[in-house]
Structure 1
Amino acid sequence: MTSLRRAPVRGLLALVLAALTAGLMVVSLVGAPAQAAPDRPAGAPAPATAPGDDDLTNEQVAEQALETVEAAIAPGEPDTAAQPDPAAHQEFTSALRDLSSLQDYLSPAKQKVAQRLLARPTDPVSTCSDSDYACFGSAPVQKLCNALICVHYTKTGPHRVPGDNNGPGGSWNGTAGGAPDYVEFTLATMTTVAKRYVNAGYRPVVSDEGADGTAQTDIYVADIGGGAFPLYGYCWTNDAENAHVTVAPYCVLDNDYKSSQFPTHTPQGNLRVTAAHEFFHAVQFAYDFYEDAWFFESTATWAEDIFYDTVNDNRQYLPYGPLGRPAKSLDLWSGLTPYASWIFMQFLGQRFPASQGDMPVIIREIWEKLSHTGTGAESMYSVQAISSALEARGTDLTTEFAKFTAWNRRPRSFYAEGAAYRPAGLSSSYRISPSDTAKRVRFSLDHLSARHYRFTSDFRGSKRLEIKVNLNDREAGGFAYVLFKPRGEGARLRVIPLNAAGNATVTYPFGSSVDWIEVDAVNASARYTACDTAPADERPYYTCGGRPVDDRMAQAITVRAVNP
């Protein structure tokens, strides 16, 4: 598994130390068609502060958003000695979205700074200066285009592309004597990615109708990997609105992906997976610019492996989500959790493998349901749309999320590449013995999470294990199953049939003939209140920016060894 200490992570990795010390972190999560709170722009994201902070004014939150972007692009060397705090991680596209939505609350002087940071790399020097993370300034800009994509680049200054131009035999597969090989490789890669999304039935990227001189989607290559926390790439728009609308994007990729800045994978591999990830953001903008941020990132991270299966960059995130932290909510917008949640998209794609253009149809259908206009539009938020897509397939979110948690305990048995995944961990393990014949485990579960408990036998001879569960009621997403491992045989999965109140009692063989029994409790609740209307400084953030109804739900599992 890739070490996060030695590899930069796509997007905004962390804030600078001062921001961490102050607890400053700005995130975005919107997506409900509900009325926005009156004290912030309609549809604006709800940036976060550290737990325990006093209520912040909109002006203070806007300044934090500005500081977040500035921290991401601050010059410096990547910290390879210690892993940055994952709680401070954020994707740069989302950081820009926050700043754009909040810039009106800044002072006039700071609004100018924000406008400079939100500028295209080719904007005038008065707007975009040479000191910016992606600003060509006065350097001559050239472009290489086809019918879909235009790559903008410069041969001079800090953002210059590699000068190789020796064709297929060089570092980058290009054409000798044409544009620089790196530019040709970038154009070919982005074109392949764009065509594949269209072939899979996704909407074409919204045209910018000639911004920067071309109607094609604009891709800029600049040195964005040289900051304290290297950026692989990002996508943005000149048409940012605090609303559920479609917008025309442009994207920025690094100008060389050199190994000194991106030490994991080859430069070519890093460019490819970044193209798949970031161009999916461009495609997402054709559905809903302000959809739930966790779904933006989890689906884009999932797409990396669909397009370029051998790079496997997205595996580095798995310890931070449902596989590594099963008791965390799937839709939590914090740290690296949204990236790690790509494994749920992989689950959906394998469970419902009907495809178009070698991509599972179910993910595209969910994006259509999220949209407010166009084919399939139902103005839903992320978890609503997932539930709707599952119901159309004769199942429901509770059932499928429970299966997902079962897959995560035995990834080798289910996922196509599961042999490379570490199983979701146990919450606790207990030994049942003649001197300790019973155990009652009390715990809580947040929505869209699970806990796994193992019970092993210290008995000789035949026994049975009586299992009583008291969980969420079925309406609130309660679900439980047993993983039963007879000695010398494979594990067997059995659903525990809960009654309407979320309770059940079952018994299974135990004693010397059984290696262990696991009881797995699931909270698959998908109920939220205050969608898009929670206070601006409330955290953490989940689907629709709302408050989960069924978090911190008290649960209990009681086991007792009994005679057959």
Structure 2
Amino acid sequence: MKRGRYIRGTFLPAAVAAALAFAFPLAAGAAQQELPALAPADDGLGRALAQGRLSEAEYALERALALFRPERAREVYGRIDRPDPRAGTLILRDLAARIPDLAPAQRALAARILARPTQRSDAIHPYLAEAKRFCGVRVCFWWVTSTRDAPSLRDRNRNGQPDWVETTRQVLKTTWNAEVGRLGYRAPRSDATSRYRGPNGKLDVYIADVGAQGLYGYCTTDDPARNRRRAVSAYCVVDDDFARRQFGGAATGTAALKVTAAHEFFHAVQYAYDWLEDLWLMEGTATWIEDEVYDSINDNRQYLKTSPIAPQNYAFPLDYHNPDPNEPDSGYKYGVWIWWRYLSERYGPGIVRAVWRRADANRGAPDEYSLQATVSALSIRKQEFASVFADFAVANATPSASYSEGGTYPAPEPDTTMVSASGVGRTTVITYHLANDYYKFAPADLDPAATLTFLLDLPDPAGSPAASAIVEALDGSLTRVPAVRDEATGRWSIVVPGFGSARRVVLVLTNASTRLRCWQGEVYSCRGRPLDDDVEIAFEAAIAPVAPVAP
């Protein structure tokens, strides 16, 4: 029997994938290779790209414009998917990175989309009233006192600043102190060279009703050097109230402001390292840091339902992204924050900073892409990535025993196979790079002392396969049994004595391959084409009879 989960080979609609493969052939130049991979949704814009009606740069322009004027895009392209509330930053990044590839009139439109709210005559979403400003030690805050962008003007201490502005100031101060101070990340770059900066080079944060577009907030760049270097300045926009009427059941009010500030400010921090880094690293670490700064809110747990520890859809690559917001796994790029939580709980939160230091694209820095940087950061700590990833797979099978807050996490829920004396026939599993799969077994009318033996055929060791069994006893205690290789036959086995008295056994199969051919036009790490996808792992299980006791 062959088992596997359907995963699109490129994780893109087939026609869109073909269009991107054409647009980014293997011989693409270095400058082209450094552009972030697009992740087109399977909607009217995605189909226009696939059909050649839009170039990649034009697609990025139309997708960004649809953030603020979706009705215009629908008139031209039909159905347009609404982005998730945190998609604005990287949609705008994809546009800013491609401005040189646009025609002059299109560049002017792109500049309007990327304009600050204070650029009243130039911005797509401008302030329509005179802006107020307050500059603190590190950050300048902007708001208006009328029109839809105005926050509540309640001012309990009568100091001339609305309470919401003061709350936003305090939240950004706490966030800066945590991310730059306590956690040691680089501060956002000065925007002193930007034409429309504030009165200084400090980070500018604009308060506006972006919730009307379904956005919590975003950070983007108008750094004039953004197309010449990969470490750039940023400015940010956050919603003016995070009202429940706009965001439904998600976090709202001050709690939403806090996690949005932690998430979006970290994008501004990331831009000071490499603003063109891979999506899964940027969004995964930004979602991870929310809980590092504001531990009691736990808004990022919503993304665990599409993550490596999800009850279903857990067997996706770590660097997977489904661009279609209508698909249940579209939040996976956020859900991989659990990987960074796993690393930070075992090696300390500095491990994530170490990854960003390896990804740093400033002059003289390593400038490694996401997966390279992760492998390097672990190697510096004398940890092999493949072993760590296999341990991650095992931890995810029992999160309540593996994470400090794991009692509130979901866990993979594979179907249970009842194992009788006849064992389990040969099963072939299709695996994907940086992915894990789980199979659950329980004894059926077996002698308590019966032994369960898994026989496995693992693929080429160069692809970093691994297998383990987690044995749960009737008292709830857990034991891990790793696979052992028979050097004579090349087969692997896992022996579980006393299976007949166990509650269950979970077989964990891992494909920890980091092998990719970069710049092939796909949406994985380094735009790479994985070398170890669609790889088969086969297993069967036998029950050893219990020897009769001699008379």
TM bin (shorter chain): 0.7 to 0.9
CA distance in 1, matches of 2:27, 2:527: 10
Partner secondary structure for residue 247 of structure 2: coil
CA distance in 2, matches of 1:385, 1:187: 33
Partner residue in 1 for 2:496: 508
1:68 equivalent among 43, 63, 69: 63
Partner residue in 1 for 2:202: 216
CA distance in 2, matches of 1:563, 1:437: 11
Task: Describe the shift of the 1:124–1:473 C-alpha distance in structure 2 as closer, same or farther (beyond 3 A).
Answer: same
Partner residue in 2 for 1:102: 98
1:367 equivalent among 353, 356, 359: 356
Query: Which amino acid in structure 1 is aligned with residue 217 of structure 2?
Result: G
Partner residue in 1 for 2:480: 493
The structure with the largest helix share of the pair is 2
Partner residue in 1 for 2:241: 256
* Bigger shift: residues 321-330 or 57-66: 57-66
CA distance in 2, matches of 1:190, 1:305: 15
Partner residue in 2 for 1:429: 416
Query: Which amino acid in structure 2 is aligned with residue 524 of structure 1?
Result: A
Partner residue in 2 for 1:446: 432
Partner secondary structure for residue 302 of structure 1: helix
Measured after TM superposition, the shift of residue 214 of structure 1 is 2.1
1:544 equivalent among 519, 526, 539: 526
Task: Describe the shift of the 1:361–1:495 C-alpha distance in structure 2 as closer, same or farther (beyond 3 A).
Answer: same
Measured after TM superposition, the shift of residue 316 of structure 1 is 0.7
CA distance in 2, matches of 1:458, 1:42: 55
Q: How does 1:244-393 map to 2 (within 5 A)?
A: 245-263=230-248, 264-324=250-310, 325-334=313-322, 335-353=330-348, 360-373=349-362, 377-393=365-381
Query: Which amino acid in structure 1 is aligned with residue 469 of structure 2?
Result: V
2:35 equivalent among 37, 41, 44: 44
The number of equivalent residue pairs is 501
CA distance in 1, matches of 2:108, 2:373: 38
Task: Describe the shift of the 1:478–1:287 C-alpha distance in structure 2 as closer, same or farther (beyond 3 A).
Answer: same
Task: Describe the shift of the 1:225–1:303 C-alpha distance in structure 2 as closer, same or farther (beyond 3 A).
Answer: same
Partner residue in 1 for 2:9: none
CA distance in 1, matches of 2:56, 2:506: 45
CA distance in 2, matches of 1:397, 1:86: 36
* Bigger shift: residues 216-225 or 485-494: 485-494
Partner secondary structure for residue 504 of structure 2: strand
Matched, 1:162 2:152: yes
1:179 equivalent among 149, 154, 161: 161
Conservation of the 8 A alpha-carbon contact between 1:101 and 1:242: yes
CA distance in 2, matches of 1:350, 1:417: 11
Task: Describe the shift of the 1:316–1:222 C-alpha distance in structure 2 as closer, same or farther (beyond 3 A).
Answer: same
1:527 equivalent among 515, 519, 522: 515
- TM-score normalised by the chain length of structure 1: 0.82
Partner residue in 2 for 1:136: 127
CA distance in 2, matches of 1:89, 1:440: 45
1:233 equivalent among 183, 194, 217: 217
Partner secondary structure for residue 366 of structure 1: helix
Task: Describe the shift of the 1:288–1:56 C-alpha distance in structure 2 as closer, same or farther (beyond 3 A).
Answer: farther
**1 or 2 for the larger relative contact order (CA 8 Å, sep ≥6)?**
1
* Bigger shift: residues 408-417 or 235-244: 235-244
How far does the alpha carbon of each residue in 1:481-530 deviate from its partner, in whole angstroms, 9 at most, with x for none?
A: 1111233452211221346897412322255322222211100111111x
* Bigger shift: residues 410-419 or 53-62: 53-62
Matched, 1:114 2:110: yes
Conservation of the 8 A alpha-carbon contact between 2:140 and 2:198: no
CA distance in 2, matches of 1:244, 1:108: 22
Task: Describe the shift of the 1:114–1:214 C-alpha distance in structure 2 as closer, same or farther (beyond 3 A).
Answer: same
How far does the alpha carbon of each residue in 1:422-457 deviate from its partner, in whole angstroms, 9 at most, with x for none?
A: 11232x4322224x4332111111111111111222
Partner secondary structure for residue 97 of structure 2: helix
CA distance in 1, matches of 2:302, 2:201: 36
CA distance in 2, matches of 1:146, 1:466: 65
- The alignment's C-alpha RMSD in Å is 3.1
Conservation of the 8 A alpha-carbon contact between 2:15 and 2:50: no
Query: Which amino acid in structure 2 is aligned with residue 203 of structure 1?
Result: R
Conservation of the 8 A alpha-carbon contact between 1:287 and 1:367: yes
Measured after TM superposition, the shift of residue 559 of structure 1 is 0.7
Sequence identity of aligned pairs in percent? 33
Query: Which amino acid in structure 1 is aligned with residue 154 of structure 2?
Result: D
CA distance in 2, matches of 1:447, 1:255: 42
Task: Describe the shift of the 1:88–1:546 C-alpha distance in structure 2 as closer, same or farther (beyond 3 A).
Answer: farther
How far does the alpha carbon of each residue in 1:389-417 deviate from its partner, in whole angstroms, 9 at most, with x for none?
A: 11122221111111111111111111111
Task: Describe the shift of the 1:299–1:499 C-alpha distance in structure 2 as closer, same or farther (beyond 3 A).
Answer: farther
1:396 equivalent among 373, 384, 392: 384
- TM-score normalised by the chain length of structure 2: 0.84
